[in-house]
Amino acid sequence: MESNENILNVEGLIAGYAGSDILRGIRLEVTENSISGIIGPNGAGKSTLLKVILGFLKPRAGRILFSGEDVSSDAPHQKIAKGIAYVGQSRSHFPSLTVKQNLRIGAYLEKNSSIRRKREKFVFDRFPILFEKKGQVAGLLSGGQVRMLEIGRMLMTDPKLIILDEPSIGLSPVLVDIFYEQVTELRKGGSTLLIVEQNVRKLFSVADKIFAIENGKNRFQGSPSELTESGFLSHLYLGSSIVPKNNGLS
């Protein structure tokens, strides 16, 4: 597996807080124009992993390569500038600003106003509702519309890699379906996605490759079907005594 093919390479990542390590040697490979997922029980280190990848936490050891470039110690805004985008669990929009202003902030780093307009048009095309409400204050939007706005804002950064942190939290099943339709659309458009999810079923329906993490270490990598067949899921989430037949470690 050559590093240059992958848009994201995480190698031997060790990180944690105040003396203890939460991540103990994590690796990830995300190929371009794919959807990769990260699953694992609570406390496995998923959010810590994202924090490190995005630059909120410095790793103690290991490397993060983005399109071959070492970005391990970059600050968050530097990574955004390089094309890593992120939609988090907590509200990541600005309720007191209008929809249009929200999107404008998303394009903060883009100095060229015609490029900004192009991106804005792209977002409005994909989410017609946002166009309808473009002058409305974002605080008045419904939950699903807010999610769309957050994706829209994120798209304004013209990302190469999109990282989603538990996107289906707080969404009704209908909205979750709509959301994942968007995810598929994004992949069709050429984007690469990395998704952390608890809703394993939904994730498995779209993902190309899954990384299972437990206690800060990789436990399994493979396609969703490989993972399901191996019976590893029940071990991971239910702590069953069934030991998987093969680890699927490639």
Partner 1 sequence: MTGGIYALLGLGISLVFGVMRVINVAHGEMLTLGAYAAIFFGKTIFSGSIGAIISAIIITSFAGIIIASMLFRPITREGSINEQQGLVLTLGISMFIANAVLAIFGPDYHSVPGKITSGTIYIGELVLEGQRLLILIASLIITALLMFFLRFSVNGMAIKAVAENPDAAMASGINISRIHLLTFIIGSVLAGIAGALIAPVTYAFPAMGFDFTLYAFIVVVIGGLGNLWGALVAAYLYGIAESLSVLWMPSGYNALIGPMLMLLILIFRPHGLMGRSIERT
Q: Does 116 bind partner 1 (CB under 8 A)?
A: no
* Nearer Cβ to partner 1 (92/136): 92
Closest contact distance (angstroms) between CB of 195 and partner 1 is: 16
Q: How far apart are the C-alpha atoms of 146 and 156, rounded to whole Å?
A: 15
Q: Does 66 bind partner 1 (CB under 8 A)?
A: no
Closest contact distance (angstroms) between CB of 129 and partner 1 is: 20
Strands 84-87, 209-214: pairing is unpaired
Q: Does 134 bind partner 1 (CB under 8 A)?
A: no
Q: Does 152 bind partner 1 (CB under 8 A)?
A: no
* Nearer Cβ to partner 1 (64/156): 156
Q: Does 219 bind partner 1 (CB under 8 A)?
A: no
Q: How far apart are the C-alpha atoms of 97 and 139, rounded to whole Å?
A: 8
Residues that bind partner 1 (CB under 8 A): 56, 75-77, 80-81, 85-88, 90-97, 101, 104-109, 153-154, 156-157
